[in-house]
Amino acid sequence: MAKEYDLVIIGGGTGGYVAAIRASQLGLKTAIVEKNKLGGTCLHQGCIPTKTLLKSAEVYRTMKESSDYGVLTKVEKLDFAKVQKRKSEITEQLYQGVQMLIKKNKIDVYNGIGRIMGPSIFSPLPGTVSVESDTNQENEMLIPKFVLLATGSKPRELPSLPFNKNNILSSDDMLQLDHLPESIIIVGGGVIGLEWASMLADFDVQVTIVEASNRLAPHEDEEISKEITQVFRKKGIQILTKAMITDSLEKDNQITVTVEQNGKKTEFTAEKMLVSVGRAANTEEIGLENTDIDINNGFIQVNEFYQTKESHIYAIGDCIGGMQLAHVAAREGTIAVEHMANQDPEPLNYHHVPKCTYSFPEIASIGMTEKEAKNKNFELKIGRFPFKAIGKALITGHPSGFVKLIADAKTNDLLGIHMIGPHVTDLISEASLAFVLDATPDEMAYTIHPHPTLSEIFSEASLMAEGRPIHL
């Protein structure tokens, strides 16, 4: 039997369920179709489980370094099964919370695969959603005024290194490990690769990173890339840039690869390999062929309010490409729903979106890199300030890193803020607020930051940009 809704959302990840809650607040009768669990990749295969593992790695590393703090103790062993158990418990707790929110907001949830149907007896337009469950019952038909596609993404596979769940693994597979490998080759030095490399190195795994571009963190400012490379090498991580894997051989529960770098070929052997070369949109088997929706390079094409070519069908999050981040998907979903409800939302300014990498040290940034700003012909003033000159950073025991502030020398407008060091993924929120409020470096400099805190580095970097440093 067909059921009518104002909005049907295909995909119950961060973008999907946040959009559903906002739609409910606006009085729209809303349903979510989700084939797995509410919360999606971020909750179950990404943000939450990986950060939980990173916290365990941090505690383990701190215990090994305890004598530096005057605490003389020994680490007996690492109980990886318990580490994994803690990860699962935290994920489950948050999952229960999402389910409660959905119930509280009176949102219907259909478990199964949602497919968009073409024009039919139900509607002259494409958009009726057929829900196919894994039971043998008849498909349910949902007839919405609007459809929101929030189908997310999956780890991108290399044809030459297909995932086998044995020794060539995706980031999803890594979360299911029952033991830590002695060694690992990580293909890709972006966000996912850096986080896993940092975590595994802290767990005493021998790590080798193979990155095709000329530097780690290729989407960050070049100075950030240089700093993370230096720190990683000090941690014992082997780093190969401008490197390509030309051959691989699996034998005796190990994998041997041939890496070509600067015209020279070298073999590397490890117990496991993680392939982390980006994520591909989930756009198959959702009925796009029954619509006029445009796809480019695998991603759904949308306008600034996330409408597809079919104006009553919207798409958000990883399936549209761009900044594949949970907080971005959530905001995109909110804007899309408010546009459906004629709320006249402001389009998202992606220049104001912070990016975070939860490696050790952490990386966070917002706005343009120095190179991007120069390419746009801005006249720049730059303030750099090291964490080693910040008292609270010294207290943490890990004062490496810096903040780099980039501003337009003519207008004093902030163009970019780039950070690497302790707790910068939390500190970046001040930078985000500064961008939203159109703050200038001198306004950041004269904002009183309590002492001793890590946040003082913002005023110090701002004073550097103004040519009036105090503590350096």
Give Cα separations from 245 to 155, 167, 192, 251, 275 (angstroms): 18, 15, 18, 17, 11
Strand-strand pairing, 129-132 and 113-116:
antiparallel
Averaged pLDDT for residues 273-279? 97
For residue 293, pLDDT over 70 is answered with yes
CATH class of 157-277: alpha beta
Predicted pLDDT of residue 1? 65
pLDDT digits 0-9 by tens, 151-179:
999 999 999 999 999 999 999 999 999 99
In the beta sheet, which residues pair with residue 3? 142
Rounded CA-CA distance 7/24 in Å is 10
Q: 44 and 37 in contact (C-beta within 8 Å)?
A: yes
pLDDT band at 137 (very low <50, low <70, confident <90, very high): confident
For residue 265, pLDDT over 70 is answered with yes
Rounded CA-CA distance 224/420 in Å is 7
CA atoms within 13 A on the CB side of 468: 8
Q: 20 and 30 in contact (C-beta within 8 Å)?
A: yes
CA atoms within 13 A on the CB side of 247: 5
Equal CATH topology for 157-277 and 361-465: no
For residue 445, pLDDT over 70 is answered with yes
Averaged pLDDT for residues 420-434? 97
CATH class of 3-154+280-350: alpha beta
Kindly report the number of other CB atoms within 10 A of residue 255's CB atom.
23
Averaged pLDDT for residues 45-67? 95
Predicted pLDDT of residue 136? 66
Identify whether 451 is a catalytic site residue. yes
What is the reported pTM?
Answer: 0.95
- With CA atoms as reference, report the closest residue to 56 among 38, 81, 22: 81
Q: Peptide bond preceding 49: is omega within 30 degrees of 0, i.e. cis?
A: no
Q: Kindly state the percentage of the chain with pLDDT values over 90.
A: 93
Give Cα separations from 222 to 82, 189, 420 (angstroms): 38, 14, 12
Q: Give 30 or 126, the one with higher predicted confidence.
A: 30
| Residue with token string 């090498």 | 233
Predicted pLDDT of residue 89? 97
Rounded CA-CA distance 244/153 in Å is 25
User: Active site residue: 44, 339, 398, 451, which one?
Assistant: 451
Predicted pLDDT of residue 124? 80
Averaged pLDDT for residues 309-333? 97
Q: Which two tokens stand for residue 36?
A: 């797995």
Predicted pLDDT of residue 74? 87
- Average pLDDT over the chain reads 95
Which residues, 6+ apart, have CB-to-CB distance to 461 below 8 Å?
Answer: 383, 384, 385, 403, 404, 405
The values of phi and psi at residue 143, to 5°, are: -110, 100
CATH class of 361-465: alpha beta
Rounded CA-CA distance 390/394 in Å is 7
Q: 461 and 405 in contact (C-beta within 8 Å)?
A: yes
- With CA atoms as reference, report the closest residue to 439 among 406, 412, 416: 412
Burial of 265 (0-12, 13-18, 19+ CB in 10 A): exposed
Domain locations in the chain?
3-154+280-350, 157-277, 361-465
